[in-house]
Amino acid sequence: MSGLISLCMISKNEGTRIQRCINSARPFVDQVIVVDTGSTDNTVNIAKELGAEVYKADWQDDFSHARNESLKYATGKWILFLDCDEELDSNTAPLLRSSLFKSEHEGYWVKIINIFNNQPGTSLLGFRLFRNNPAYHFECPIHEQVLPSVVKYSSLDKIGQLDVTIFHYGYDTDKAAAKAKCERNLRLLNKSLDKYGEYGFVYFYLGVEYQKLGEYQRALDYYTISLEKSNLGESYAPAMVRSMVYCNMALNRFDEGIRMCEKYQGIYPEYTDLVYLKGALYFNQGQLIRSLDCMNKCLTMGPPPNRYFSSHGIAAEKPLIYIKNIIAAFIKQGEMLINQGDRIAAHGSLVHAYQQLMKQPDEKLFEKLIELNLLLINSVENTCNKQSPSN
């Protein structure tokens, strides 16, 4: 073998994105391989101009087949695989080479950040780097995986984690294109059931696609099957639980969502997203104190470990937005109770608002709180005056 790292990619009509991907990896790899499955745009020419070796292959309705074709041409000791809509983070990419020279591992997880509207949206770990070994190959026509093969021919303790980040940009803003992609994925996943139906991950990805389509009950049905077939230690299991909670919330099944959060927090105690979702569920039920406790806990917990699929800002701006809304709800509640003459309950609501505002100040909410406190004081004074005996 020559060289340390071979970048392996597959493409079809990726002319608008492949340049960014190859340019981001080129300084850190020794070989760039692109297996093209039928581009009719300028993808092939761009890849060749950037120094990639381009090979053509017939599309066989199977992503793993195309991935395995790319492995045939790799000469590096290690394989890095990327999608055309991805980009290596230039700040962390140098760790690739420095970490691999004396590595005793067979493969590595890296961090993937999904970009939405040019901002970080969610993050997760992806298995993207492994030794060039003829025994290692991709499986499953869609959401293809190489990790099972690497573990099968080595061992789980040979899998490590690198502090390398990949940015993923491939979320279609075009609704028609996104729907067509989901429908293609569903077709390939259903095709996969004949061979991989005993495994939970296929049902998990079926749930993912139906959730993208907004078919939350159908998504829940597949997630439930996957949960029954999966070990809770599987890399996708925490994300699946998170998605099940989200689907329950979308279906207004708040109690069931809360029950799931409480059950699985015991299994995934560092998963901040479950605490956040529980707080959102409580908020939808009007349980402001419980919701506030959850959002404050998110701020204390911080982001979950990288192994968990998580929303960006889950321990900062996201709970802070809810906290602001909860404070506003307490103030609104206090105003309503004052108008109803229930001053004791009104005072309680305003105290909750005040206590949280001391932690997260907000000028407009403070002004409204002061206004209501003055109204409450005047209400009490007026009542006292009415009850005082006349001279």
User: 326-347, pLDDT tens digit by residue?
Assistant: 999 999 999 999 999 999 999 9
Strands (E), 202-330: 310-311
pLDDT value at 385 more than 70: no
User: 127-180, pLDDT tens digit by residue?
Assistant: 999 999 999 999 999 999 999 999 999 999 999 999 999 999 977 667 888 899
Q: How many Cβ atoms are within 10 Å of 90's Cβ, its own excluded?
A: 12
User: 78-126, pLDDT tens digit by residue?
Assistant: 999 999 999 999 999 999 999 998 899 999 999 999 999 899 999 999 9
Contacts (Cβ under 8 Å, ≥6 apart) of 300: none
d(CA 304, CA 314) in angstroms, rounded, equals 9
Q: What is the pLDDT of residue 24?
A: 98
Work out the pLDDT band at 391, boundaries 50, 70, 90: very low
- Report the Cα–Cα distance between both ends of the chain, in Å, rounded: 106
Measuring CA to CA, which residue among 376, 337, 369, 368 is closest to residue 352?
369
DSSP states along 5-70: EEEEEEESS-TTTHHHHHHHHGGG-SEEEEEES---SSHHHHHHHTT-EEEE----S-HHHHHHHH
Domain range summary for the chain, segments of one domain joined by +: 5-168, 323-387
Distance of CA 121 to the CA centre of its chain: 7
pTM: 0.92
Q: What is the pLDDT of residue 383?
A: 64
pLDDT value at 262 more than 80: yes
User: 1-21, pLDDT tens digit by residue?
Assistant: 679 999 999 999 999 999 999
Q: What is the DSSP letter of 358?
A: T
Topology given in CATH for the domain delimited by 5-168: Spore Coat Polysaccharide Biosynthesis Protein SpsA; Chain A (3.90.550)
Q: What is the pLDDT of residue 4?
A: 96
pLDDT value at 366 more than 50: yes
